[in-house]
Amino acid sequence: MRCLGLAVVISALLATGVIAEESSKLDVIIRKNKTRIEGVILSEDDQQIRFLAVMRRKHKRTLTMEINIARSEVARVERLSVALRAQRLAEIREIKSQQVSEAKAIRTIKLKDVPWLGGRGRGNKFTSKRFELYSNAQADFTRRMAYKLEQIFAAYERHFAVSRNRSGKVRIYVFNTSAEYYGVIGRQIQNPAVYVASRNLVLAGTDLAKMREQVILVRRKHTALKVKIAAETRSLNRRKTEVERKKEQYRKEAEASVRAGKATRQEALDFWSRVKKWEAEQKKAIYKHKKYLTSLKSRSGQIDRQNEHLVRQYAGSLIRMLYHEAFHAFLNNFLFTKEQVNTVPAWINEGMAQFFENSFIEGTTLRIGTMDKQRVAKLRSFIRSGSVVPLRNLLAAGSEKFIVSNALDLEQSNVHYLQSWAVVYYLSMRRGAKGGNLFGPYVSRLARGEDPARAFGVLSGQTLEQVDRAWRELFSR
């Protein structure tokens, strides 16, 4: 979001938008059982197809698996051209290579120790080509943020072929607690992150310290559980060894008694029968012990996953906030002139920032514009309740409609944010998501003083009423 009264711009739709169909097509194999597998054909003969299956997951890493599919199982194959298949294979290999190297790259990021704001302790600074990141969060988390921000700025730069303000840098401050963040910006703005255009600052608050406390608690649980697992494993092994030792001892005693004439063969057999019964009881006890140990290991795995989920959850929410505000800053600093910036309406600014905030990078590809389920569900509820505003009002809305100053502003802000995203999404899809500078001509017309409704008609190729009806229908399905 933007700070009240500060103009931030966007007047371009990413040329690939929601990754255009041609740029994401893969080979497709349809099996006779109707299952559909997407990927890349590696080789084939009369007997089978060697296939690299590809699973693309929203906001997650692409998964791949090499499989062999018998010709007898195949109903139909939808093939890429040879050139496009080679391109896809190169892209996938680049993605996998980057996934392996990411952790190493994050570890090698160098941070500079600096005084924190107002002399309150110490923080870390990371300097990049397009931004400076300051944070008093823990160093490993700051490195992760620095890596992700550097990736996204580089992706924007590659796509938009930036040439303006080459020496400019955005300053980004990430506070370790929300309390410290609000202490700096004041409670008049309740958004968890903000871009202050007048000072070229991105500010974000997060409860990283609280998350760290939760992680530490989970780790303590895990450490205690690991100690218990180790003890139970030793106990189980001793028990198994003892059973085998006693069984062998009883066997020798029975044989010795028969040889010494102290017991008949039948008495020895009866005794051995009792030993076997005892052994069976011991094995049952050992089995229960093993089940208990398995349950402990399962709990240990759950704790590991819980810990990973905590870190991913906090990191993911913070990265999305930073992507949103960094997009405002990038466009304000590097993509448009000051004159253009001052004519961009709030609905384009905020709609496009949302279009980018859920983006992620695979290889060198920026994947954006996914239709977030939670966002769509909330928007649908606003449509059904009649809370959305007429399109004419949205076009004229100022930045104050997007800012949450108190609890009463929350619904108004949510409506304007979601509706802006929906209209941008609708226009992007209508124009095929390949339009590049989709909003550029519209902004130019506004700069010349043209009526917003008339300029919008040229942009959309429809009347306001047609667009207002169409976007609602799209998100009411």
The b-or-e profile of 355-364 (16+ CB within 10 A means b, else e) is bbbbbbbbbe
Backbone angles phi, psi at 344, to 5 degrees: -80, 125
Cα–Cα distance between 474 and 429 in angstroms, integer? 11
Give the pLDDT confidence score for residue 12 in this predicted structure.
Answer: 25
* CA distance linking residue 322 with residue 60, whole number of Å: 18
d(CA 61, CA 326): 22
Quote the pLDDT of residue 355.
81
Query: In the prediction, which pLDDT does 366 show?
Result: 66
Long-range contacts, stretch 295-301, CB < 8 angstroms, 24+ apart: 296/225, 296/228, 296/229, 296/232, 297/229, 299/225, 300/222, 300/225, 300/226, 300/229
Q: At what angle are helices 410-430 and 346-357 packed, to 10 degrees?
A: 80
pLDDT digits (tens, 9 = 90+) for 409-436: 788 889 999 999 999 889 887 775 444 5
How far is it, in rounded angstroms, from Cα 388 to Cα 379? 8
pLDDT winner (highest mean) among 284-293, 317-326, 430-439: 317-326
Q: Are 386 and 360 within 8 A, CB to CB?
A: no
**pLDDT cut 90: percent of the chain above it:** 29
Express each pLDDT in 100-144 by its tens digit.
667 788 889 999 999 998 778 899 999 998 999 999 988 888 998
Domain residue spans in the chain?
26-79, 210-313
Distance CA 169, CA 127 (A): 9
Rounded average pLDDT over 346-370: 75
Q: Give the model's pLDDT for residue 51.
A: 93
Residue 230 binned pLDDT confidence (cut-offs 50, 70, 90): confident
pLDDT tier for residue 245 given thresholds of 50, 70 and 90: confident
- Angle (deg, nearest 10), helices 410-430 and 373-385: 110
| 387 in Cβ contact with 362 (< 8 Å) | no
**Quick check: 343 and 443 in contact, CB under 8 A?**
yes
Digit-coded pLDDT (tens) for 434-468: 445 577 788 888 888 899 999 999 999 999 999 99
Residues 429, 212: contact at Cβ < 8 Å?
no
Six token digits for residue 366: 């920026």
The pLDDT, as a whole number, for residue 331 is 79
Q: Which of 60-74, 77-91, 321-335, 344-358 has the highest mean pLDDT?
A: 77-91
Contact yes or no for 39/26 (Cβ under 8 A):
yes
End-to-end CA distance of the chain: 28
* Confidence (pLDDT) at 11: 25
CB 439 within 8 A of CB 348: yes
Q: Distances from the Cα of 246 to the Cαs of 253, 262, 276, in angstroms?
A: 10, 20, 11
Residue that is written with structure tokens 């120790």 in the block: 113
Strand order in the sheet with 193-196: 112-115, 122-127, 131-135, 170-175, 201-205, 193-196
Q: Is the pLDDT of residue 89 over 80?
A: yes
CA 362 to chain centre: 12
* AA letter at 94: E
User: Phi then psi for 332, rounded to 5 degrees?
Assistant: -65, -35
Distance (Å, whole) CA 134 – CA 397: 33
Q: Is the pLDDT of residue 159 over 70?
A: no
User: DSSP H helical segments within 69-138, as ranges?
Assistant: 82-107
Only one residue has tokens 């769509």, namely 376
Cβ–Cβ under 8 Å, residues 44 and 56: no
Tokens of 53: 């299956």
Min mean pLDDT across 89-93, 160-164, 285-289, 454-458 is at 160-164
Q: State the angle between helix axes of 139-160 and 82-107 in degrees (0 to 180), rounded to the nearest 10.
A: 150
> Angle at which helices 346-357 and 265-330 pack, to 10 degrees?
150
Q: Kindly provide the b/e burial profile for residues 126-146, where b requires at least 16 CB atoms within 10 angstroms of the residue's own CB.
A: bebebbebbbbbeeebbbbbb
The mean pLDDT value of the chain amounts to: 81
